[in-house]
């Protein structure tokens, strides 16, 4: 007990080394008096400030007082295609934070090769009694997939929101980045650096984000640039395979459909003894958390993860509360982040 306030014990300890009010206050950027009010459950503290204090406890590794552990408002499912690409954990983390701020408990479902399908995961979520589902880069983005599954889900009166991949056959709120703009920004950046032959390494053509990136690329680079488009896998290996052909075609700048693909392009260039960015400039897409620390730091187009995730959760919660959200696509602008993987083309 410090200053009349019982401080929670560190998780996994017998109680030694309990934090001081000053530690929590410094972490939350509030006064010690505010921390005291929150820990004692007293009024006079805004919801945002209360959340900061509780987050400070979590960050410092201490259990919350029992009386401050809120009862969950309900469960919300989050279906993601994988977790090996850092952009998906980044989305999952923000979605979880926003849901927790509203009292909901997220249930993360990840597909694995040979494992449960999206439909099987949805069935499991329904059996768990979820109040709604967020789909991230799911089958809604695959033009070859049967979109009737979402109509059936809506008929069962389960609210859902779809992130990354517009499909006019599905009646639901969509949240997407402007992939068309993203590809155009990357092409114009390379053109301004003097690159006259720019290629595009992007995912399978059946995916909506791939099609939109391709359209944006051709709009900026010109229709003749279609011969410099390679559809492959959204992975390091996919980028490596595409780079082999694009480098053979004489491309000195390569725009990629994901940061993972860009890392594969850089690896392929180095295997040929080429320097990045001295001989080849590379632009990624996503700006996932570790990308600024690659060698060289990757120039990329940043997805507005925070804004998109917050909008997706906001729309879903409105649906859960019985306030229908227009079944349309909410498009967010990306941002070009210039780092060390692009430079002026050699004359």
52-61: pLDDT as tens digits: 888 888 788 7
pLDDT at 252 over 70: yes
Pick the CATH number of 1-69 from 1.10.8.100, 3.40.640.10, 1.10.260.40, 3.30.70.580: 1.10.260.40
Q: Nearest to residue 229, comparing CAs of 219, 237, 147? A: 219
Q: Which residue has the higher pLDDT, 43 or 264?
A: 264
pLDDT at 311: 96
Quote the CA–CA distance of 13 and 33 in Å, as a whole number: 26
pLDDT at 70: 59
Quote the CA–CA distance of 111 and 246 in Å, as a whole number: 31
Quote the CA–CA distance of 145 and 288 in Å, as a whole number: 27
Q: Are 242 and 213 in contact (CB under 8 A)?
A: no
Q: What is the pLDDT of residues 127-169, one digit of tens each?
A: 989 999 999 999 999 999 999 999 999 999 999 999 999 999 8
Parallel/antiparallel/unpaired status of strands 198-202 and 229-231: parallel
Confidence of residue 268 (pLDDT cuts 50, 70, 90): very high
DSSP designation for 311: H
Confidence of residue 7 (pLDDT cuts 50, 70, 90): low
Q: Which residue has the higher pLDDT, 35 or 256?
A: 256
pLDDT at 13 over 50: no
Pick the CATH number of 74-177+305-332 from 3.40.50.2300, 3.60.20.10, 3.30.1550.10, 3.30.70.330: 3.40.50.2300
| Averaged pLDDT for residues 330-341 | 97
Q: Does domain 179-303 bear CATH number 3.30.1490.390?
A: no
pLDDT at 17: 52
Which residues, at least 6 apart from 72, have a Cβ–Cβ distance to it below 8 Å? Answer: 103, 104, 105
Backbone φ and ψ for 197, nearest 5 degrees, come out as: -125, 105
Confidence of residue 67 (pLDDT cuts 50, 70, 90): low
Mean predicted lDDT score pLDDT of the chain: 90
Q: Nearest to residue 251, comparing CAs of 268, 233, 232? A: 268
- pTM for the structure as a whole: 0.81
Quote the CA–CA distance of 257 and 266 in Å, as a whole number: 14
pLDDT at 60: 82
pLDDT at 45 over 90: no
74-177+305-332 and 179-303 in the same fold: yes
pLDDT at 3: 47
Which SS3 state, helix, strand or coil, does residue 300 take? strand
Confidence of residue 16 (pLDDT cuts 50, 70, 90): very low
pLDDT at 15 over 70: no
Q: Which residue has the higher pLDDT, 245 or 17?
A: 245
Residue boundaries of the structural domains of the chain: 1-69, 74-177+305-332, 179-303
DSSP 73-133: -EEEEEEES-SSSTHHHHHHHHHHHHHHHTTEEEEEEE--TTS--HHHHHHHHHHTT-SEE
């Amino acid at each position: 007990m410090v200053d009349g306030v019982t401080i929670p014990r560190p998780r996994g300890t017998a109680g030694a080394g309990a934090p001081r009010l000053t530690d929590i206050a410094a972490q939350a950027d509030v006064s010690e008096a505010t921390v005291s009010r929150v820990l004692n459950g007293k009024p006079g503290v805004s919801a945002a400030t209360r959340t900061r204090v509780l987050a400070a406890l979590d960050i410092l590794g201490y259990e919350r007082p029992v009386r401050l552990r809120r009862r969950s408002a309900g469960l919300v499912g989050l279906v993601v295609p994988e977790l090996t690409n850092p952009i998906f954990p980044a989305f999952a983390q923000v979605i979880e934070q926003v849901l927790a701020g509203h009292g909901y408990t997220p249930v993360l479902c990840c597909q694995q090769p040979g494992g449960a399908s999206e439909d099987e995961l949805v069935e499991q979520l329904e059996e768990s009694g979820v109040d709604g589902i967020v789909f991230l880069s799911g089958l809604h983005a695959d033009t070859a997939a049967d979109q009737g599954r979402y109509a059936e889900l809506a008929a069962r009166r389960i609210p859902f929101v779809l992130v990354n991949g517009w499909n006019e056959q599905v009646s639901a709120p969509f949240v997407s980045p402007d992939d068309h703009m993203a590809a155009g920004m990357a092409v114009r950046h390379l053109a301004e650096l003097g690159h006259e032959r720019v290629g595009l390494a992007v995912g399978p053509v059946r995916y909506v984000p791939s099609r939109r990136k391709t359209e944006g690329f051709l709009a900026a680079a010109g229709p003749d640039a279609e011969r410099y488009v390679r559809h492959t896998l959204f992975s390091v290996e996919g980028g490596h395979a595409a780079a082999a052909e694009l480098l053979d075609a004489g491309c000195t700048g390569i725009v990629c459909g994901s940061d993972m693909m860009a890392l594969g392009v850089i690896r392929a260039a180095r295997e040929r003894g080429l320097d990045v960015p001295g001989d080849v400039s590379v632009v990624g897409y996503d700006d996932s958390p570790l990308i600024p620390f690659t060698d060289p730091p990757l120039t990329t187009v940043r997805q507005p993860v925070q804004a998109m995730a917050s909008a997706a959760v906001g729309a879903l919660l409105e649906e859960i509360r019985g306030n229908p959200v227009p079944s349309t696509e909410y498009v967010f602008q990306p941002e070009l982040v210039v780092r060390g993987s692009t430079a002026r083309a050699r004359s």
